[in-house]
Amino acid sequence: MTGNELAVALCAAVDAVEQIRASHLIDIVWTGPATPEVPVRLTREVLLEVIGSASSSLVMVSFAAYHVPAVSDAVAVAARRGVDVRFVLETSESAGGTLKGAGAASAFKVLAGLVTFYEWPADQRGQLVAGRRAAMHAKTSIADEHTALITSANFTGSAIDTNMELGVLLRGGPVPRRLARHFRQLIVDGVFREVV
């Protein structure tokens, strides 16, 4: 390979990397005290942005959920404009999950008939020490395979407004697509089952 050929190859590689970087954005999502290092993008604001950006599909996953009327309202608007909304939520201990009291889906009962709810049934969960069940503890919202919020925040009023919570917002690139397809495949495989 000549020097000129090597230079052309290196320039092409640099151009390819720059195009890949330009095709996706990563932002920090933080609810808590601000510093100059991390601008505060509240979890509530970003979660509602993700829901509002969905045009065809929305996957919403959380462990706990309660006191979230703004989220319910935004999801209802999305569902009414034709977005296929799928919630994967933790269930109560009595239903095979790990939540004390009602399962997380009870926070979204106003959405019955507009969205589809899924659970991780007891027969699909691993057993932990002393007979305890594994928890469905993931938290993400994915719009159209293009935008994903991955966060420590549950779908609760405290988590999206006042707790100290950390997440990342990914726009574009392969990760939102892979996450959405991952959750859809878990549904197809029966790891998550529709709540009827």
Q: What pLDDT, on a 0 to 100 scale, did the predictor assign at position 34? A: 84
pLDDT at 111: 96
CA 69, 74, 43, 119 dihedral sign is positive
65 SS3 class: strand
pLDDT of residue 130: 77
Q: In what helix (H) or strand (E) does residue 168 lie, and over which residues does it extend?
A: strand 165-172
Provide the pLDDT for residue 20: 60
pLDDT at 93: 87
pTM: 0.85
pLDDT by residue (tens digit) across 34-82? 888 877 788 999 999 999 999 999 999 999 999 899 999 999 999 999 9
pLDDT given at position 105: 85
Task: Say what the pLDDT of residue 16 is.
Answer: 67
Question: Tell me, what DSSP letter sits at residue 104?
Answer: G
Give me 48's structure tokens: 């509602």
Provide the residue-wise pLDDT of the chain in tens; the chain has 196 residues: 788 877 778 777 777 666 665 567 899 999 988 888 877 788 999 999 999 999 999 999 999 999 899 999 999 999 999 999 999 999 998 888 888 888 888 999 999 999 999 999 988 987 777 777 889 999 999 999 999 999 999 999 999 999 999 999 999 999 999 999 999 999 999 999 999 8
Handedness of CA 84, 85, 88, 94 (dihedral sign): negative
pLDDT of residue 67: 85
Looking at the domain covering 24-194, what would its CATH class be?
Answer: alpha beta
